[in-house]
Chain A
Amino acid sequence: MTWRIILQLALSGLSIGSIYALVGLALVLPFKASGIVNFAQGEIVTFGAYLALILSGLGLPYLAVVPLVLIGAAAFGMVIERILIRPIVSQPEFTLVIVTFAIGLIIKAGIRLHWQDNTFSIDAPFVGPPLALGALRLNPAYLVFIASMLVVVAALFVFFGYSKFGKAMRASALDSIAARLMGIRIGSVFSAAWALSTMLGAFVGLLLGPVIGINPEIGHLILKGLVAAVIGGFSSLGGAVAGGLLLGLLETYAGAFFGATFKNVVPFGVLILLLLLRPQGLAGASSARRV
């Protein structure tokens, strides 16, 4: 194991970890706002990628496609929240789980019907030959993944910390009744949380599409996003980010040292161990009850 390999793997791990972090964030946001885990989040990523494909096909350059996809995804998220989620928010958890799965199924089936299983590709300015840094080869896309994640985290930090609406969302997550009493419109908060979440998911699709190709199965990484969120205790945005990066690194190194089986086992092994031993994640407050 040379230094070169270790560093190369670190770059790989951090970049895929950034992707997991973004998906984890997208999962934690609506959970904090309305207590719902959106199991369709993987398909939201796919949706973002295909939306980019459509817009790209109209001749728009990548940088123009990005804001359009984000807006489209936000609108999509708000529509789903209003029409499908809001009416059933009080139903048992199972119903909510199945509803989000059904939404995901519909999105994936619809995409598959129209585009079938071909892997499409779109051009993006960050896809290109690797940059050399000594003996290291730096894939520019990987750098963009990491940078994007940092930008998103910074933006969310500013939003939740300093903007009025962001503070309103934090208040609602802490205590929705008190927030209501303070005049905060919970409905808008829910909508905004979902819109943010679908925007994040679509953003991941935008990033991944040009690099790994666009096909109906890319949403499978929701499982990794779930693990990332769990590492962060499913209640902390920062935790989800840390969880994603940690997972990416763990996976990559495990795969390198122990083979593909281990790479597969790592996320779920970590998931189960954490949930059984420390469900509040590595950072959160204890939420398991003694029974």
Chain B
Amino acid sequence: MRARVLLILVGLACLAALPLFATSYYLYLAELAMINVIIAVGLNLLSGNCGQISLCNASFMGVGAYCTALLSTRLMLSTLISLPVSVVISALLGAALGYPARRLSGLYLALTTLGFLELVGIVIEEFPEYTGGIRGLKVPRPEIFGFSFQSNASLYFFVLALTIGAVVVGYNVRRSRYGRAFDAVRQSPFAAQALGIPVARVKVIAFSLNAAFAGFAGSLLAGVVGFIDPPEFGVLTSIQHVTFIVVGGLGSITGSIAGAVLLTALPEALRGVQEYGELIYGFVLLGTLLFLPRGLVGVVAKLKALRSAKPSAKELAYGAP
């Protein structure tokens, strides 16, 4: 336990010290990775813990991004207002999807979310006077009380602080009774219902939370990159989000962080192979899924179990891998 806390503190210290020696390229990558961590944590709550498959995560991210973009460029609102408003709007949209979809599961749910994603994309493109349509939209840097996060370091710390906050919130949700309700719904909706858990409401809350996290991340992305366009929030991006949690480890916060960081770094690391990058990415992904079906977290658990012959508490609860 002590070791874990120490590890986290050292990690945070390294992150805090990053602007001292990293170029703006690495700071930017770190920011992208952190935004993806927020995405992964949110998606894991919905899909990993609550077991609801969602292929439209990128849409909620897009909603958050476009809301922030419009609020800050059209209404000149400070990030202090535009960020929470974007999150709320995304959350509401998540609930709006989650409620009618509460009876669906598996394939049907996946397809519903896919349809939702395509419709959101169409809406974005249909109102170019507001959203810039296919030509995209410029977004100013985040700004609070007149202070604009123009410098590399200030933007980095802004994103870092918010990411830590989001991870803490995600962690607390998991440990709360909602988190336990999510797990119960995933394992057996019937049993959960029998235990008095309002399964439908829990699902809607899970969708809403997921959308909130995604909207939060989208809002940050818009400020960090400064320019957004519809393909950024399409099917491929949604799939990428799912890869974060599948490769990292379903249902686990650590897994979310690991998966998001790794899969943000991977395409950048593949720059050297130029046009073969996509192909190699596909193979790496496939390999990871075939050989590490429980994700990175599963690998760690397996190693731990190998070291001590006793089954871990996780295995006792969920069965051996």
Touch test A–B (CB under 8 Å): yes
Residue of B nearest to A289 (CB): B103
Q: Which of B110, B281, B282 contacts A97 (CB 8 A)?
A: B110
How far apart are the CA atoms of A95 and B259 in the complex, in Å? 14
Interface residue A37 (Cβ < 8 Å from any Cβ of B): yes
Residue of B nearest to A220 (CB): B235
**Interface membership of chain A positions 157-169, coded 1 if the CB is closer than 8 angstroms to chain B and 0 otherwise:** 0000000000000
Interface residue B193 (Cβ < 8 Å from any Cβ of A): yes
A291→B111 contact, CB < 8 A: no
Shortest B50–chain A CB gap in Å is: 12
A291→B112 contact, CB < 8 A: no
Residues of the A chain whose Cβ atoms lie less than 8 Å from the Cβ of B283: 106
Residue of B nearest to A37 (CB): B107
B246→A94 contact, CB < 8 A: yes
Residues of the B chain whose Cβ atoms lie less than 8 Å from the Cβ of A269: 115, 119
How far apart are the CA atoms of A11 and B242 in the complex, in Å? 40
Q: Which of B104, B126, B200 contacts A279 (CB 8 A)?
A: B104
Residues of the A chain whose Cβ atoms lie less than 8 Å from the Cβ of B89: none
How far apart are the CA atoms of A92 and B52 in the complex, in Å? 11
How far apart are the CA atoms of A272 and B55 in the complex, in Å? 13
A88 touching B114 in the complex, CB below 8 Å, given contacts A275-B104, A291-B199: no
A265→B286 contact, CB < 8 A: no
Residues of the A chain whose Cβ atoms lie less than 8 Å from the Cβ of B276: 113
Interface residue A264 (Cβ < 8 Å from any Cβ of B): yes
How far apart are the CA atoms of A172 and B110 in the complex, in Å? 24
Shortest B255–chain A CB gap in Å is: 12
A97 touching B242 in the complex, CB below 8 Å, given contacts A37-B107, A91-B293: yes
**Interface membership of chain A positions 76-106, coded 1 if the CB is closer than 8 angstroms to chain B and 0 otherwise:** 0000000010011001111101110111011
Interface residues on B, range: 35 or more
How far apart are the CA atoms of A180 and B103 in the complex, in Å? 32
How far apart are the CA atoms of A27 and B285 in the complex, in Å? 23
B108→A98 contact, CB < 8 A: no
Which of A226, A272, A288 has the largest number of chain B CB atoms within 10 A? A272
A279→B122 contact, CB < 8 A: no
Residue of B nearest to A36 (CB): B107
**Interface membership of chain A positions 19-45, coded 1 if the CB is closer than 8 angstroms to chain B and 0 otherwise:** 000000000000100000100000000
Tell me how many residues of A have a C-beta within 8 Å of chain B. 43
Shortest A86–chain B CB gap in Å is: 11
Residues of the A chain whose Cβ atoms lie less than 8 Å from the Cβ of B105: 289
B289→A291 contact, CB < 8 A: no
Interface residue A145 (Cβ < 8 Å from any Cβ of B): no
Interface residue A257 (Cβ < 8 Å from any Cβ of B): no
Shortest B292–chain A CB gap in Å is: 10
**Interface membership of chain B positions 282-299, coded 1 if the CB is closer than 8 angstroms to chain A and 0 otherwise:** 110110011001000000
B282→A290 contact, CB < 8 A: no
B115→A272 contact, CB < 8 A: yes
Residues of the A chain whose Cβ atoms lie less than 8 Å from the Cβ of B282: 102-103, 105-106, 109
**Interface membership of chain B positions 106-140, coded 1 if the CB is closer than 8 angstroms to chain A and 0 otherwise:** 11101110111011001000100000000000000
A275 touching B279 in the complex, CB below 8 Å, given contacts A94-B53, A102-B289: no
Interface residues of A in 242-291 (CB under 8 A from B): 261, 264-265, 267-269, 271-272, 275-276, 279, 287-291
Interface residue A153 (Cβ < 8 Å from any Cβ of B): no
How far apart are the CA atoms of A105 and B282 in the complex, in Å? 6
Residue of B nearest to A226 (CB): B111
Interface residue A199 (Cβ < 8 Å from any Cβ of B): no
Residue of B nearest to A103 (CB): B286
Interface residue B85 (Cβ < 8 Å from any Cβ of A): no
Interface residues of B in 117-171 (CB under 8 A from A): 118-119, 122, 126
**Interface membership of chain A positions 109-141, coded 1 if the CB is closer than 8 angstroms to chain B and 0 otherwise:** 110110000000000000000000000000000
Interface residue B239 (Cβ < 8 Å from any Cβ of A): yes
Residue of B nearest to A272 (CB): B115
How far apart are the CA atoms of A93 and B110 in the complex, in Å? 10
Q: Which of B107, B189, B200, B289 contacts A95 (CB 8 A)?
A: B289
Residues of the B chain whose Cβ atoms lie less than 8 Å from the Cβ of A291: 102-103, 189, 193, 199-200, 203
Shortest A108–chain B CB gap in Å is: 8
How far apart are the CA atoms of A103 and B112 in the complex, in Å? 22
Interface residue B90 (Cβ < 8 Å from any Cβ of A): no
How far apart are the CA atoms of A184 and B223 in the complex, in Å? 59
How far apart are the CA atoms of A193 and B131 in the complex, in Å? 45
Interface residue A65 (Cβ < 8 Å from any Cβ of B): no
Residues of the B chain whose Cβ atoms lie less than 8 Å from the Cβ of A268: 115-116, 118-119, 122
Residues of the A chain whose Cβ atoms lie less than 8 Å from the Cβ of B49: none
Interface residue B250 (Cβ < 8 Å from any Cβ of A): yes
Interface residue B196 (Cβ < 8 Å from any Cβ of A): no
Q: Would you give 7 A-B contacts (Cβ < 8 Å), ordered by A?
A: A31-B107, A84-B286, A101-B239, A103-B282, A106-B282, A261-B126, A276-B104
| Closest 9 pairs between A and B when the two form their complex, measured CB to CB | A106-B282, A271-B115, A109-B279, A109-B278, A105-B282, A272-B115, A275-B112, A268-B118, A268-B115
